[in-house]
Amino acid sequence: MTSSAAAAVASIVALTSLVPSLPQTVTNGASVLGTLSAPSLSLTGVDGIVSWGANTVENYNPYATDFISGRQGPTYNFNIARGFISPDGVNKSSILINGSFPGPMIEANWGDTITVNVCNQITGPEEGTSIHWHGILQKSTPWYDGVPAVGQCPIAPGSCMTYSFLADVYGTSWYHSHYSAQYSAGVAGAMIIHGPSQVEYDYDIGPIILSDWYHNETYEQLVEQVMANPAVGPPLSNNNLINGKMNFDCSQLLENNLQCTSNAGLSKFQFHSGKTHRLRLINTGAEGIQYFSIDGHNMTIFANDFVPIVPYTTNVVTLGVGQRSDVIVTATGAPNSTFWMRSNLSSCDNAHYPFALAAIYYEDADNTSVPHSTVTSFTDSKCGNDNLSLTTPYYNYGAIPAPATTQDLTITAHLNETDGTSGFRLFYVNNQTFRADYNSPILPLANGGNFSYPNPDWQVYNFDTNSSVRLVVYNDFPGSHPMHLHGHNFNVLADGFGTWDGVITNPHNPQRRDTQLVRGSNDPTNPDPGSPGYIVLQYSTDNPGTWPFHCHIAWHVSAGLYINTIEQDALLQKRVLPSVIADTCKAWDAYSASNVVDEIDSGEKRMFARDFSLS
Ligand SMILES: *[C@@H]1O[C@H](CO)[C@@H](O)[C@H](O)[C@H]1NC(C)=O
Ligand SMILES: *[C@@H]1O[C@H](CO)[C@@H](O)[C@H](O)[C@H]1NC(C)=O
Ligand SMILES: *[C@@H]1O[C@H](CO)[C@@H](O)[C@H](O)[C@H]1NC(C)=O
Ligand SMILES: *[C@@H]1O[C@H](CO)[C@@H](O)[C@H](O)[C@H]1NC(C)=O
Ligand SMILES: *[C@@H]1O[C@H](CO)[C@@H](O)[C@H](O)[C@H]1NC(C)=O
Ligand SMILES: *[C@@H]1O[C@H](CO)[C@@H](O)[C@H](O)[C@H]1NC(C)=O
Ligand SMILES: *[C@@H]1O[C@H](CO)[C@@H](O)[C@H](O)[C@H]1NC(C)=O
Ligand SMILES: *[C@@H]1O[C@H](CO)[C@@H](O)[C@H](O)[C@H]1NC(C)=O
Ligand SMILES: *[C@@H]1O[C@H](CO)[C@@H](O)[C@H](O)[C@H]1NC(C)=O
Ligand SMILES: *[C@@H]1O[C@H](CO)[C@@H](O)[C@H](O)[C@H]1NC(C)=O
Ligand SMILES: *[C@@H]1O[C@H](CO)[C@@H](O)[C@H](O)[C@H]1NC(C)=O
Ligand SMILES: *[C@@H]1O[C@H](CO)[C@@H](O)[C@H](O)[C@H]1NC(C)=O
Ligand SMILES: [Cu+2]
């Protein structure tokens, strides 16, 4: 850790009280998360309706069963607009949903239909938007997956689009903008789907959202820096937040044009001594891997992403961007005790101040006191996920059959010009970088039988009628990538360095989730530095549609680390698209015909028209 980062933590610990210097509305707008008045969640689902009946964790096979409650679940209205918030005391121009940071929490019961009407009110300047519901399978509605250039056109400024989809999996997740790196400006929130559980607990503390945070005025500046040539190095995050809150020492502010207030206020949580608490950990950051711990307490992990697992106990939970873990914490402290909750960005991340803190108050503790608990020392996973042998899905799926097809994917990063002196730093998958055309989404094209793409940078892999796909991902880039597949929970068969030897970890029931870290070629645990990191993933193509597979680091996906997959296209062609898909494209076509779409990254083709010089 850098000495200034350690000093920043020491200065928080040395405070005499944790009375915030800014009101919640200034730090987080309309959000109440991270305050002691945030309600704990219901143990019996939304409206107290526990209706999943015999579909217990034990006998529910997510490969084969679709559970439909028949209940029209909640309807949400999201108004997306620019606004100012000071999550850590530094006033920052952000893009917010209903003025809330984090965005409003979505809560539904398993099998409900969730409806969200998203209105784009972004002005000064205008830009598109689109919301992705991370981890939802979208089996009957692949067009509502929310990725511009895939299922839909971006929602044009001044327009709205209504998404309506089945809560087809249960547990903890999040939604976020999938338009460029827009979510890093604030367009993200928790999505909780109540369902059966294989463990019991007394309190559901709700979402604990972990995110690196950047003080830069716009996300576009950060994207430009990522792709710059000559490389000025990746941007460093300026802070690390828990439920959108943290303190910042204003004497350390790097930009002197920003307003800054010290001791803005930390997140606070209530524990009840002797009781068990469910915590729903979500990494919604732009780049960093989080190591989450609570001083003096162990945690029992019982779900990773939307997949219940055989519970195991640990003192640190590792979360790459996009990943979630559900944990149970037993409150073993005295009724008047207080403890620090911590989340550290990994040493592999590019961070100025990587250490987030929040305070846990037991029922008889003074809710402004400063905890004096001792930090838990833990062995971190050195930029990868925890050892695969630790994780077994709770439902026994059985061994994974040989795949119908295998696709090797090799990740590299370099300047786009071969002489190494000009161009942009981009990511490549099998020697091809990704660039989308917002005006021609591939799902409506595939639905209409069009599989011809004007440019290889659309990066489409059509697996056609293969019943399953194995992806062997080799990473020649020095750093790790949290690889996320839409529309599926894949099995993770292996994780290692060099060339995969064909050995599957936990072959009788391997790990399953929707996001998994592939280690970098210069990973500290690599026995042969320079040789690639790899992961091996496999999934059944039971979801006719067009499904992105990409790195979830906002900066990397912007620089092209992304492919589109298509599966079961003949079945996809039989589907009838709702008219909102064509209407959204009509509005976007009209908007983009008369406005310059100032989109600088993999999202759009005008990238090369920009002057990227930062020197
Ligand atoms: C904090 O404690 C004070 C004094 O006991 C109490 O009045 C107040 O309601 C508490 N605040 C919250 C948010 O629980
Ligand atoms: C967002 O704001 C609109 C307009 O004030 C309101 O109608 C809607 O209920 C709000 N939605 C949420 C999720 O709070
Ligand atoms: C943040 O900056 C904006 C724009 O300068 C200003 O309108 C707003 O009042 C500031 N907020 C705070 C809390 O200072
Ligand atoms: C972003 O902020 C950092 C300081 O935190 C600064 O060094 C960097 O130049 C900024 N990048 C851009 C593109 O403004
Ligand atoms: C956490 O678990 C470890 C290993 O089981 C045990 O040695 C330790 O005492 C536990 N710590 C607490 C605070 O319960
Ligand atoms: C908590 O309660 C114990 C036992 O009553 C007492 O010894 C201790 O001083 C209290 N601690 C605090 C921080 O009030
Ligand atoms: C995590 O952060 C704390 C500061 O909050 C620090 O004391 C501790 O050493 C860090 N742990 C690791 C393993 O980095
Ligand atoms: C993962 O755990 C297994 C079983 O304990 C062990 O054999 C293996 O060496 C571990 N792998 C790594 C990379 O630590
Ligand atoms: C590489 O980037 C430059 C901009 O410096 C652009 O003019 C050129 O077309 C790009 N080359 C390729 C092969 O994409
Ligand atoms: C990518 O290009 C390199 C160098 O030309 C070549 O060796 C390699 O086989 C190519 N990889 C793929 C998957 O086409
Ligand atoms: C298929 O779509 C592409 C991209 O919009 C278009 O260029 C091409 O003309 C279309 N092909 C046919 C046969 O319609
Ligand atoms: C299976 O996928 C491969 C691409 O990996 C494709 O070439 C092949 O045609 C597909 N086979 C079937 C039967 O769809
Ligand atoms: Cu990446």
Is the model's pLDDT at 601 over the cut of 90? no
* pLDDT given for residue 299 in this prediction: 98
> Does residue 221's CB lie within 6 angstroms of at least one atom of ligand 4?
yes
DSSP code string of 327-381: EEEE--S-TT-EEEEEEEE-TTS-BSS-EEEEEEEETTS-TTPPP-PPPPP----
Is the model's pLDDT at 136 over the cut of 60? yes
SS3 string of 273-323?
A: CCCEEEEEEEECCCCCCEEEEECCECEEEEEECCEEEEEEEECCEEECCCC
Band of pLDDT at residue 151, cut at 50, 70 and 90? very high
Distance 299 CA to ligand 5 centre (A): 9
- In whole angstroms, give the CA distance from residue 598 to residue 593: 13
Q: What is the atom index within ligand 7 of the atom nearest the CA of 356?
A: 5
Is the model's pLDDT at 98 over the cut of 50? yes
- For 594, the 3-state DSSP assignment is helix
Is the model's pLDDT at 255 over the cut of 90? no
Paired tokens of 421? 């002196």
Q: What is the DSSP letter of 465?
A: T
Question: Residues lining ligand 9, judged by CB closer than 6 Å?
Answer: 416-417, 422-424, 608
Find residue 77's DSSP bridge partners. Answer: 117
Higher-pLDDT residue of 117, 64: 117
Lowest mean pLDDT segment, chosen from 15-19, 35-39, 252-256: 252-256
> Does residue 217's CB lie within 6 angstroms of at least one atom of ligand 7?
no
Lowest mean pLDDT segment, chosen from 92-101, 232-241, 605-614: 605-614
Lowest mean pLDDT segment, chosen from 195-199, 256-260, 360-364: 256-260
* 118-129 tens-digit pLDDT: 999 999 999 999
Q: Which of 212, 217, 218, 221 to mutate to test the pocket of ligand 4 (most atoms within 8 A of CB)?
A: 221
SS3 string of 58-76?
A: CCCCCCCCCCCCCCEEEEE
Question: Residues lining ligand 2, judged by CB closer than 6 Å?
Answer: 76-77, 79, 98, 104
Band of pLDDT at residue 599, cut at 50, 70 and 90? low
- In whole angstroms, give the CA distance from residue 147 to residue 161: 13
Judge contact between 550 and 603, C-beta under 8 A.
Answer: no
Q: What is the atom index within ligand 10 of the atom nearest the CA of 412?
A: 1
Band of pLDDT at residue 419, cut at 50, 70 and 90? low
* pLDDT given for residue 326 in this prediction: 98
* pLDDT given for residue 462 in this prediction: 98
Lowest mean pLDDT segment, chosen from 52-56, 109-113, 503-507: 52-56
Q: What is the atom index within ligand 9 of the atom nearest the CA of 422?
A: 5
By the 10 Å C-beta count (0-12 exposed, 13-18 middle, 19+ buried), 372 is classed as exposed
> Does residue 431's CB lie within 6 angstroms of at least one atom of ligand 10?
yes
Paired tokens of 492? 């993770």
Which of 331, 292, 304 has its CA nearest to residue 393? Answer: 304
- In whole angstroms, give the CA distance from residue 558 to residue 224: 9
Higher-pLDDT residue of 570, 231: 570
Judge contact between 157 and 591, C-beta under 8 A.
Answer: yes
Max CA-CA distance within the chain?
Answer: 67
* pLDDT given for residue 422 in this prediction: 64
* pLDDT given for residue 606 in this prediction: 42
Band of pLDDT at residue 613, cut at 50, 70 and 90? very low
Judge contact between 351 and 212, C-beta under 8 A.
Answer: yes
* pLDDT given for residue 14 in this prediction: 95
Is the model's pLDDT at 438 over the cut of 80? yes
Paired tokens of 167? 């809560």
Judge contact between 328 and 199, C-beta under 8 A.
Answer: yes
- Phi, psi (rounded to 5 degrees) for 18: -105, 60
DSSP code string of 479-522: S-EEEEETT--EEEEEEEESS--SPPSSTTS--EESEEEEPPTT
Judge contact between 313 and 328, C-beta under 8 A.
Answer: no
Architecture of the domain defined by 405-577? Sandwich (2.60)
Q: Which residues of 519-588 form beta strands (DSSP E)? A: 533-540, 545-551, 562-567
Higher-pLDDT residue of 266, 59: 266
Report which residue type is found at 74: P
- Nearest-CA residue for atom 12 of ligand 9: 416
- Nearest-CA residue for atom 7 of ligand 10: 431
Find residue 177's DSSP bridge partners. Answer: 131
- Tell me whether the omega of the peptide bond preceding residue 157 falls within 30 degrees of 0, making it cis: no
- Nearest-CA residue for atom 12 of ligand 2: 77
* pLDDT given for residue 615 in this prediction: 26
Report which residue type is found at 504: I
> Does residue 21's CB lie within 6 angstroms of at least one atom of ligand 3?
no
Paired tokens of 63? 């490969």
* pLDDT given for residue 436 in this prediction: 87
Query: pTM of the predicted model, to two decimals?
Result: 0.96
Distance 137 CA to ligand 12 centre (A): 22
Count the neighbouring beta carbons within 10 Å of the beta carbon of residue 461. Answer: 18
> Does residue 375's CB lie within 6 angstroms of at least one atom of ligand 7?
yes
Backbone torsion region of residue 498, taken as left when φ is above 0, otherwise alpha when ψ lies between -120 and 50, otherwise beta:
left
Question: How open is the CA angle 438-441-446, to the nearest 5 degrees?
Answer: 165
- For 225, the 3-state DSSP assignment is helix
Distance 8 CA to ligand 2 centre (A): 37
Lowest mean pLDDT segment, chosen from 77-81, 285-289, 422-426: 422-426
* pLDDT given for residue 610 in this prediction: 39
- Nearest-CA residue for atom 10 of ligand 2: 77
Band of pLDDT at residue 607, cut at 50, 70 and 90? very low
Q: What is the atom index within ligand 2 of the atom nearest the CA of 100?
A: 14
* pLDDT given for residue 418 in this prediction: 59
* pLDDT given for residue 493 in this prediction: 98
Distance 413 CA to ligand 8 centre (A): 29
Counting ligands in written order, the one closest to the CA of 433 is 9
* pLDDT given for residue 600 in this prediction: 74
- Nearest-CA residue for atom 6 of ligand 5: 298
3-state helix, strand, coil in the chain (%, to 5): 15, 35, 50
* pLDDT given for residue 1 in this prediction: 53
* 367-401 tens-digit pLDDT: 999 999 999 988 888 889 999 999 999 999 899 99
Higher-pLDDT residue of 603, 572: 572
* pLDDT given for residue 603 in this prediction: 55
Is the model's pLDDT at 286 over the cut of 50? yes
Q: Which of 3, 240, 342 to mutate to test the pocket of ligand 7 (most atoms within 8 A of CB)?
A: 342
Higher-pLDDT residue of 61, 17: 17
Distance 513 CA to ligand 10 centre (A): 30
Counting ligands in written order, the one closest to the CA of 218 is 4
> Does residue 410's CB lie within 6 angstroms of at least one atom of ligand 10?
yes
Q: What is the atom index within ligand 12 of the atom nearest the CA of 464?
A: 14
Counting ligands in written order, the one closest to the CA of 390 is 8
* 331-345 tens-digit pLDDT: 999 999 999 999 999
DSSP H or E segment with residue 147: none
Is the model's pLDDT at 132 over the cut of 70? yes
Q: What is the atom index within ligand 2 of the atom nearest the CA of 76?
A: 13
Distance 411 CA to ligand 10 centre (A): 11
Average pLDDT over residues 495-508: 97
Counting ligands in written order, the one closest to the CA of 482 is 13
Average pLDDT over residues 191-212: 97
- Nearest-CA residue for atom 5 of ligand 8: 389
Domain residue spans of the chain: 405-577
Which of 196, 67, 178, 200 has its CA nearest to residue 128? Answer: 178
Distance 505 CA to ligand 8 centre (A): 10
Q: What is the DSSP letter of 115?
A: E
Paired tokens of 285? 């950051």
- Nearest-CA residue for atom 5 of ligand 1: 366
Provide the CB-side half-sphere exposure for 514 (13 A, CA): 28
Judge contact between 30 and 77, C-beta under 8 A.
Answer: no
Provide the CB-side half-sphere exposure for 81 (13 A, CA): 11
Distance 296 CA to ligand 5 centre (A): 8
What are the Cα distances from residue 614, in Å, to 214, 228, 296, 554? Answer: 18, 7, 46, 20
Higher-pLDDT residue of 614, 29: 29
Q: What is the DSSP letter of 503?
A: P
Distance 79 CA to ligand 13 centre (A): 30
DSSP code string of 425-455: EEEEETTB-----TTS-HHHHHHTT----S-
- Nearest-CA residue for atom 3 of ligand 11: 453
Lowest mean pLDDT segment, chosen from 195-199, 549-553, 610-614: 610-614
* pLDDT given for residue 267 in this prediction: 98
Is the model's pLDDT at 224 over the cut of 50? yes
- In whole angstroms, give the CA distance from residue 175 to residue 328: 23
